[in-house]
């Protein structure tokens, strides 16, 4: 019952909200924003008024007009604000052409159409233009003057503001007609700015110097009126005739000035406000429109001034009626909306009152029953709570037992690992072992044992951090010297990989209170990560400097860096960045942050090119408790002689010289220890080339090895992608590939076989199995080569052999056959036709056929010669030239070398 009542209340509220929402949804408006150059003159005011009237007739149009007040900078800002608000259409009346061009183009790039009215911008990068033909206006004025000249033919032109398109175009049209009539002369041009004040002073000087002026043409009626007033002060108003532009039907407008005889004529320049709104709506509706929309204009003189005035008065009356009707409609809409809202509100109140009445009756009846139910539930909850507490205690004890087992087991690992390290160190020091390959292998064992020991120590540190069992013992330490000591563990790695490893520290000492054991772990984690992710020839830099009350340590490398969106998770336990393809425990940075916070310091990471960590430690020791500060003896602090897992020994100089007859082997592996181990063990039987995966394809194409061993988990492309590309490439498709990986699941094996590999071996692997796999694959390749060399001159369907090799051989033999009679045909031309280099062609043919490409070409020619000898249709000399030999003697020598008979003997034997 209660849910039913609540349902009634919610239904009433939702019904009210939905009905309101439907009204709002019906308001599908079109936002049109207008950037008006200025509104100080009657012509602009008439444009604004006509746009408002037209918009009022269209309920869907929302019109916003902003006056730039004749400021170019403000007009640019106004249009920028329209773009930011993402209006539907922008109408611009530019103050000047050039300054407005860039912001109009920006609007077009933002997907907002722009309608330019009255004046144009530079170029054509706008949606449409609306305005009168200003060139024609200038021409109309000049034609009128030419046709009505009675005297000297001397004219004065008063132009609009420099930089505006109407001024330029009107002057252009005016001058075109004047120049075509030799008896008409423009004595002077006055540069006005559309306002009256810009005319009086320069015109007074001109009229005093040249009173014999017959016509003055001003680019608008305001400047024409100012010219008439100036002439009147000089007594020349009846002698000179004045022509203006605009033809407004307002007090002191062009039509009134013509009727009063002040102007000889004016040219109607329609504002186009109504047309602008209609055109903007068509643009928004994606209707077909013209790029240039020209408004009609007309010349008004004393013959038609009264007629046009009457027509415009009627239009103004109609607009006034429309405006009053629109106002009345808006009042009615507001009253309707308010009454509707009141009705919905009353309905909502009635529903609520009715629902509350029902609810009050229901509540009185059900309270007692609910009370009994609650008492029963309370007893049940108390019982369940006790059970949950018991289960939680059992879970806690079980979790503690697991963690204690994990911790104890980790401690148990330390003893045998320590014994392994100790025995390995003693073996390394044996004189009989020093300088041998066994010594290098013992160093590898020592190196990885140290690495395993450090991982175990990190796990134990993580357990202690989780249980808050770490205590700090800070002592005053020279950070510069401490950093140098830590860098000593990595200088060998930096030198081997040509990494620029530097320390920037102020001269003298820079002391801080640190727990050297904990700070040692921080340094190691940050530096080992830097070396792990920094490529060869990169940079790793440590900077130490003072910053207010802190000492700052900056670790910067040129490695792969950390994605910006993952910065916040860097110090989270077990976090691994998305661009990190290497194996990692994910707790090193978490522990580093905990150790720094034990020092009351901070650590932050900055994203960018490479990784950058900044540690800030407070100066002095006042931030520590008394029991956290003291002296550390040498027994308390020992800098471990770490050997990085990537800082392995260099065995290149210890290996025997490669046998030129050995098969070539490319090993692709990013674990340096394993890479060097395989290279060491296989270099006596193979000519070994190595790659860490970053340049695997380049190395394969450069060397074209006989066989390849490839890991899967590599930086960048994995081993499956590399194998797939090599098998697809005609230059390397014949090379057997062994995948050697830790991925032993069925899905990975299937993916490897789909990529075209020849054998899939999993880690940990047996070296004898690897060696036998190499031998088997090369043996099978030799059998295939033998089959090729005995069948290669018989062109078979492409499915006869392995498709890539057969495609290559078929194509190569076809090119050789087509050039059979060309004695100048070279290996270089053959390589160019096959789109491979000469070296790659040589290695490819050598790997497939077991012979050089030159020998293969000669063999094809000799086989063809043997076939021709069987026909008896050609002489030996003709056959020699037919198969491309430069001389019969050389042909006979080569033929006997291959078949054991001279051509003549071979023919007679047949």
pLDDT of residue 528: 84
pLDDT band of residue 690 (cuts 50, 70, 90) is very high
> Which residues neighbour 534 within 8 Å (Cβ) at sequence distance 6 or greater?
499, 540, 557, 558, 559, 610
pLDDT band of residue 653 (cuts 50, 70, 90) is very low
Q: Is 62 in contact with 30 (CB distance < 8 Å)?
A: yes
The whole-angstrom separation of Cα 436 and Cα 883 is 58
- What CATH class has 474-620? alpha beta
Phi-psi category of residue 693: left, alpha or beta, with phi > 0 → left and psi -120 to 50 → alpha: left
What is the four-CA torsion angle of 625, 629, 635, 636, rounded to 10 degrees?
Answer: 40
Q: Which of 5-9, 308-312, 427-431, 790-794 has the highest mean pLDDT?
A: 308-312
The predicted-structure confidence for 361-401, as pLDDT tens digits, reads as follows: 888 888 878 888 888 888 888 888 888 888 888 887 776 66
pLDDT for 654 beyond 50: no
What is the four-CA torsion angle of 86, 87, 93, 94, rounded to 10 degrees?
Answer: 0
The whole-angstrom separation of Cα 501 and Cα 490 is 9
Q: Is 349 in contact with 356 (CB distance < 8 Å)?
A: no
How large is the angle between the packed helices 888-899 and 853-869, nearest 10 degrees? 100
What is the residue-averaged pLDDT of the chain? 81
Paired tokens of 707: 């066989």
The whole-angstrom separation of Cα 514 and Cα 624 is 10
Q: Is 92 in contact with 79 (CB distance < 8 Å)?
A: yes
Higher-scoring residue by pLDDT: 77, 22: 77
Domain spanning 803-909, CATH architecture: Orthogonal Bundle (1.10)
The answer to whether the 656-791 and 803-909 domains have the same CATH topology is: no
The whole-angstrom separation of Cα 153 and Cα 185 is 6
What's the rounded mean pLDDT across residues 333-345?
Answer: 83
547: β partners: 550
What's the rounded mean pLDDT across residues 338-346?
Answer: 85
Helical H segments across 515-628, by residue range = 516-533, 588-598
Q: Which residues of 684-694 are buried (b: 16+ CB within 10 A; e: fewer)?
A: eebbbbbbbbb
The per-residue DSSP string of 600-615 comes to: T-EEEEE-SSS-EEEE
pLDDT of residue 411: 53
- Asked if omega into 764 is within 30° of 0 (cis), the reply is yes
200 φ, ψ (degrees, to nearest 5): -60, -50
> Which residues neighbour 385 within 8 Å (Cβ) at sequence distance 6 or greater?
none
pLDDT for 490 beyond 60: yes
What's the rounded mean pLDDT across residues 645-659?
Answer: 37
Nearest to 825 by CA among 800, 791, 853, 852: 853
511: β partners: 478
CATH code of domain 133-270: 3.40.50.2300
The whole-angstrom separation of Cα 256 and Cα 818 is 95
Nearest to 32 by CA among 281, 287, 271: 281
Name the one residue in this structure whose structure tokens are 């130490």. Answer: 544
pLDDT of residue 521: 83
The predicted-structure confidence for 188-201, as pLDDT tens digits, reads as follows: 999 988 888 889 99
Provide the 8-state DSSP code for 658: P
Higher-scoring residue by pLDDT: 331, 261: 261
The whole-angstrom separation of Cα 445 and Cα 492 is 18
Provide the 8-state DSSP code for 870: T
- A 10 A CB-CB count for 41 gives 18
Q: Which of 74-88, 346-360, 833-847 has the highest mean pLDDT?
A: 74-88
Higher-scoring residue by pLDDT: 551, 338: 551
Q: Is 167 in contact with 136 (CB distance < 8 Å)?
A: no
The whole-angstrom separation of Cα 521 and Cα 831 is 58
pLDDT of residue 651: 35
Lowest average pLDDT, out of 5-9, 401-405, 513-517, goes to: 5-9
pLDDT of residue 372: 83
Name the one residue in this structure whose structure tokens are 């194998």. Answer: 723
Higher-scoring residue by pLDDT: 508, 44: 44
- Three-state DSSP at 742 gives coil
Nearest to 73 by CA among 93, 99, 97, 92: 99
pLDDT of residue 464: 67
The whole-angstrom separation of Cα 568 and Cα 556 is 18
| Domain 656-791 CATH (choose: 3.40.50.970, 3.40.50.2300, 3.30.565.10, 3.20.20.60) | 3.40.50.2300
What is the four-CA torsion angle of 699, 700, 704, 706, rounded to 10 degrees?
Answer: 110
The whole-angstrom separation of Cα 776 and Cα 784 is 12
pLDDT of residue 853: 82
Sign of the alpha-carbon dihedral angle for 532, 533, 539, 543: negative
91 φ, ψ (degrees, to nearest 5): -105, 125
Nearest to 8 by CA among 355, 278, 300, 304: 355
475-478 and 511-514 strand pairing: antiparallel
**Three-state SS annotation for 293-334:** EEECCCEEECCCHHHHHHHHHHHHHHHHHHHHHHHHHHHHHH
Provide the 8-state DSSP code for 716: S
The predicted-structure confidence for 841-863, as pLDDT tens digits, reads as follows: 887 787 777 777 888 888 888 88
Q: Is 450 in contact with 429 (CB distance < 8 Å)?
A: no
61-67 and 30-36 strand pairing: parallel
Sign of the alpha-carbon dihedral angle for 201, 206, 212, 215: negative
The predicted-structure confidence for 313-327, as pLDDT tens digits, reads as follows: 787 777 677 767 767
The per-residue DSSP string of 34-99 comes to: EEES--SSHHHHHHHHHHHHHHHT-TTEEEEEEE-TT-HHHHHHHHHHHHHHT-SEEEE--SSHHH
Residues comprising the chain, all counted = 910
The predicted-structure confidence for 568-618, as pLDDT tens digits, reads as follows: 888 877 777 766 656 555 677 888 888 888 888 999 998 778 889 999 999
- A 10 A CB-CB count for 474 gives 24
Name the one residue in this structure whose structure tokens are 């395993």. Answer: 452
pLDDT for 649 beyond 50: no
Give me the residue spans of the domains in the chain.
Answer: 133-270, 474-620, 656-791, 803-909
- A 10 A CB-CB count for 899 gives 17
Phi-psi category of residue 360: left, alpha or beta, with phi > 0 → left and psi -120 to 50 → alpha: alpha
What's the rounded mean pLDDT across residues 302-311?
Answer: 85
What is the four-CA torsion angle of 702, 705, 709, 711, rounded to 10 degrees?
Answer: 10
The predicted-structure confidence for 548-568, as pLDDT tens digits, reads as follows: 889 999 999 988 888 888 888
Q: Is 819 in contact with 884 (CB distance < 8 Å)?
A: yes
The whole-angstrom separation of Cα 784 and Cα 770 is 21
pLDDT for 764 beyond 70: no
Kind plus residue range of the DSSP H or E element containing 675: helix 672-682
The whole-angstrom separation of Cα 166 and Cα 223 is 15
List Cα–Cα distances, 768 to 115, 465, 489, 678, in angstroms.
81, 45, 35, 12
872 φ, ψ (degrees, to nearest 5): 65, 15
pLDDT for 18 beyond 60: no
């Amino acid at each position: 019952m209660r849910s039913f009542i609540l349902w009634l209340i919610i239904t009433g509220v939702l019904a009210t909200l939905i009905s309101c929402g439907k009204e709002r949804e019906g308001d599908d408006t079109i936002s049109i924003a207008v950037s008006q150059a200025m509104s100080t003159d009657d012509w602009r005011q008439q444009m604004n008024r006509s746009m408002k009237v037209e918009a009022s007739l269209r309920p869907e149009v929302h019109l916003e007009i902003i006056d730039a007040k004749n400021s170019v900078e403000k007009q640019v800002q106004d249009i920028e604000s329209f773009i930011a608000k993402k209006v539907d259409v922008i109408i611009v009346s530019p103050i000047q052409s050039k300054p407005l061009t860039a912001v109009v183009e920006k609007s077009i790039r933002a997907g907002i159409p722009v309608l330019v009215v009255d004046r144009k911008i530079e170029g054509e990068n706008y949606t449409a233009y609306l305005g009168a033909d200003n060139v024609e206006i200038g021409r109309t004025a000049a034609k009128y003057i030419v046709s009505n000249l009675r005297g000297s033919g001397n004219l004065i032109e008063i132009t609009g503001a420099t930089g505006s398109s109407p001024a330029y175009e009107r002057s252009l049209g005016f001058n075109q007609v004047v120049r075509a009539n030799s008896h008409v002369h423009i004595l002077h041009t006055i540069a006005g700015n559309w306002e009256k004040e810009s005319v009086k002073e320069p015109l007074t000087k001109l009229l005093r110097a040249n009173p014999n002026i017959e016509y003055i043409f001003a680019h608008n009626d305001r400047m024409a009126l100012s010219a008439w007033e100036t002439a009147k002060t000089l007594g020349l108003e009846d002698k000179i005739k004045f022509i203006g532009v605009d033809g407004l039907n307002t007090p002191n407008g062009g039509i009134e000035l013509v009727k009063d005889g002040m102007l000889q004529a004016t040219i109607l320049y329609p504002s186009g406000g109504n047309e602008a709104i209609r055109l903007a709506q068509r643009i928004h509706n994606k209707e077909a429109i013209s790029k240039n929309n020209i408004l009609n204009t007309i010349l008004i003189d004393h013959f038609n001034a009264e007629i046009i005035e009457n027509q415009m008065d009627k239009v103004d009356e109609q607009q006034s009626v429309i405006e009053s009707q629109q106002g009345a409609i808006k009042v009615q809409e507001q009253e309707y909306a308010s009454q509707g809202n009141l009705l919905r509100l009353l309905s909502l109140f009635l529903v609520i009152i009715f629902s509350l009445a029902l609810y009050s009756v229901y509540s009185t009846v059900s309270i007692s029953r609910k009370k009994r139910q609650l008492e029963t539930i309370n007893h049940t909850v108390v019982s369940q709570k006790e059970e949950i507490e018991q289960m939680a205690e059992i879970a806690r004890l079980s979790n503690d037992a697991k963690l204690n087992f994990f911790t104890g087991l980790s401690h148990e690992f330390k003893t045998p690992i320590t014994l392994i390290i100790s025995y390995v160190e003693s073996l390394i020091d044996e004189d009989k072992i020093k300088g041998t390959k066994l010594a290098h292998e013992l160093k590898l064992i020592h190196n990885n044992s140290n690495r395993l020991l450090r991982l175990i120590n990190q796990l134990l540190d993580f357990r202690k951090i989780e249980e808050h069992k770490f205590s700090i013992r800070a002592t005053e330490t020279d950070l510069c010297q401490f950093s140098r000591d830590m860098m000593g563990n990595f200088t060998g790695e930096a030198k081997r990989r040509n990494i620029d490893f530097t320390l920037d520290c102020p001269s003298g000492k820079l002391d801080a209170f640190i727990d050297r054991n904990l700070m040692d772990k921080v340094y190691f984690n940050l530096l080992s990560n830097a070396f792990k992710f920094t490529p060869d020839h990169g940079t790793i830099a440590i900077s130490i400097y003072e910053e207010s009350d802190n000492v700052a340590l900056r670790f910067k490398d040129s490695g792969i860096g950390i994605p910006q969106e993952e910065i916040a998770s860097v110090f989270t336990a077990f976090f691994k960045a998305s661009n990190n393809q290497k194996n990692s425990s994910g707790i090193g940075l978490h522990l580093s942050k905990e150790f720094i916070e034990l020092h009351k310091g901070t650590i932050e990471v900055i994203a960018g090119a490479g990784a950058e960590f900044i540690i800030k430690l407070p100066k002095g020791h006042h931030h520590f408790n008394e029991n956290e500060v003291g002296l550390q003896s040498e027994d308390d602090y020992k800098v471990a002689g770490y050997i990085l897992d990537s800082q392995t020994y260099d065995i290149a100089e210890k290996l025997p010289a490669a046998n030129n007859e050995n098969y070539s082997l490319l090993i692709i592996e990013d674990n340096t220890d394993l890479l060097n181990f395989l290279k060491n063990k296989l270099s006596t039987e193979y000519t070994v080339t190595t790659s860490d995966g970053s340049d695997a394809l380049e190395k394969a194409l450069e060397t074209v090895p006989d066989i390849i061993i490839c890991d899967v988990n590599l930086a960048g492309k994995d081993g499956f992608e590399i194998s797939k590309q090599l098998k697809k490439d005609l230059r390397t498709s014949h090379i057997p590939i062994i995948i050697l990986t830790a991925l032993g699941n069925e899905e990975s094996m299937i993916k490897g076989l789909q990529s075209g590999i020849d054998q899939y071996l999993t880690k940990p692997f047996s070296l004898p199995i690897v060696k036998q796999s190499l031998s088997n694959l090369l043996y099978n390749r030799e059998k295939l080569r033998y089959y090729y060399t005995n069948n290669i001159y018989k062109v078979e369907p492409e499915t006869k052999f392995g498709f890539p090799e057969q495609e290559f051989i078929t194509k190569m033999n076809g090119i050789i056959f087509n050039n059979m009679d060309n004695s100048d045909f070279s290996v270089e031309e053959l390589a160019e036709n096959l789109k491979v280099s000469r070296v790659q062609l040589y290695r490819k043919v050598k790997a497939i056929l077991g012979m050089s490409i030159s020998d293969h070409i000669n063999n094809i020619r000799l086989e063809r010669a043997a076939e021709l000898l069987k026909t008896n249709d050609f002489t030996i000399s003709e056959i020699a030239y037919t198969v491309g030999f430069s001389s019969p003697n050389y042909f006979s020598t080569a033929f006997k070398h291959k078949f054991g008979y001279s051509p003549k003997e071979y023919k007679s034997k047949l």
